[in-house]
Amino acid sequence: MDSIVILFISGLLGLFVGMRRQPLSALVISSLGLTGAALAAYFRGQYTSPLAAYTAYIPTQSAVVILLCIVTLLAIWGGYQRYRQENEHTGDYLSLVLFSLCGAIMMAQPNDLMLFFIGLEILSIPIYVLVGIEKGSALSAEAAVKYFFTGSFASAILLFGIALLYGATGSFQLVEIQSNLAIGIWQSPMAMIGSLFLLAGFAFKIGAVPFHFWGPDVYQGASNAVLMYMSTVVKITGIYAIVNVFGQIFRDSYFYWIDLISLLIVLSMFYGYITAWKQTSFKRLIAYSSIANAGLMLFALADIHNSNIFLFVAAYAFATIPLVTINEFADQNSDDLSNWEGIAWKNPLVGAALVLALFSLAGIPPLAGFFGKFSLLWSAVPHIPYTAVLALIASVIGAFVYLRLLMLALKKPEVQVKKALSAEQTIVLLLTTISSITALYLI
């Protein structure tokens, strides 16, 4: 709760500073707000307000809040360069990110479906705006409209699912829904359709097949800064929410859903990686890669008593953010992959960060991505072994995709042109690279 309050206040302050066209101070305020929120989650994570019985209780674990805050911090720093130059919307951008993060914290680990839905809307609505924040670009406007329509449609389906579940069980509280479902109601058509709609809404949020169609277009239309936020924070929140909701509600009947979820996993991974293979646009490539990664994340549902997804989502975020930052470094206004040719030679830090991020995404030890994948598979293999086999085959295709990008970036250019990173980009790349490597200490 403290974190949300701090984020909200710093978001408001950021708006006022943004009005005065002071991008740097807006950045400082938002960074302070995010740091404060992370610290609050760390120190007051166990704190329950004496008014908890009367107010909304947000049970999100402090580790998740801290992860979300850090990822957002990296995302706004990585994308800051553009807003320093065109300072018309810096304040709006930063505040919208912070407001949306409030929603993310609310919905990440809900215990009440109503509160969860409110969090979801608080998360989504600023993002609709953020996608369209490039007012001059037709692509951006198209993306915003697309995202808004499909997004509200998905929200409606999700809400309908919640309503049906409420009709079947008579409660919004996850604990009560679970105990009611456990006595046999889960077999009733109403509860089943409700849960199916719930699953569809979730799958839309994390962009898993077959609810992925918005992904590539929206990602392509969004600016790098927004893309960084969208492809990491929204996904992390979505997967935490789905694990939490499904883990609680269907604790006794998850065997019933596991086949459907296996299908989603396999489809997402194969579709995502195979389609990413021939992309010529970096943002679309990231979009398809994130569809495949959403499939991988769904492995957390295989063993809902013991799901350990933290490492995977953290590794995913710490690998995606440097890549998008490097795309910003390559060329701010275009996302064509030809900009990436020989980019590793322009700056040594870019080269190192790029190699490590791509290998981490491909899941090569000893980088963080491997440990994430390992901990997911570790709990999933006994439950859905065949899905795991298929997923591993798909990850070979994925390695193809990442290696292709890597080879493009490492190609030695005829003439070497050096290019300097801006200070905040340097910090982002350093931090993400170091955190990818330090996963080695987990052994």
Binding site residues, another protein, CB under 8 A: 355, 359, 364-366, 370, 374, 377-378, 381-382, 385, 388-389, 392-393, 395-396, 399-400, 403-404, 407, 410, 412, 443
| Contact of 191 with 168, CB cutoff 8 Å | yes
Give the nearer residue to another protein in terms of CB position, either 54 or 386.
Answer: 386
Cα dihedral 35/67/437/281 (nearest 10): -100
**CA–CA distances in Å: residue 292 to residues 116, 270, 387:** 25, 7, 14
Q: Which residues contact 291 (CB under 8 A, 6 or more apart)?
A: 207, 208, 209, 212, 215, 268, 271, 272, 275
| CA 190/CA 428 separation, integer angstroms | 48
Q: Which residues contact 205 (CB under 8 A, 6 or more apart)?
A: 120, 154, 234, 237, 238, 241
Give the nearer residue to another protein in terms of CB position, either 198 or 401.
Answer: 401
CB of 138 to another protein, least distance (A): 35
Q: Please give the backbone phi and psi of residue 49, each rounded to the nearest 5 degrees, phi first.
A: -70, 145
CB of 377 to another protein, least distance (A): 6
Q: Which two tokens stand for residue 150?
A: 């499909």
Give the nearer residue to another protein in terms of CB position, either 156 or 403.
Answer: 403
CB of 312 to another protein, least distance (A): 15
| Contact of 116 with 132, CB cutoff 8 Å | no
Chain Cα centroid distance, residue 287 = 11
Give the nearer residue to another protein in terms of CB position, either 75 or 380.
Answer: 380
CB of 215 to another protein, least distance (A): 26
CB of 129 to another protein, least distance (A): 41
Question: DSSP string covering 65-127, please?
Answer: HHHHHHHHHHHHHHTHHHHHHSTTSHHHHHHHHHHHHHHHHHHHS-SBHHHHHHHHHHHHHHH
Give the nearer residue to another protein in terms of CB position, either 75 or 377.
Answer: 377
Give the nearer residue to another protein in terms of CB position, either 107 or 337.
Answer: 337
Give the nearer residue to another protein in terms of CB position, either 417 or 443.
Answer: 443
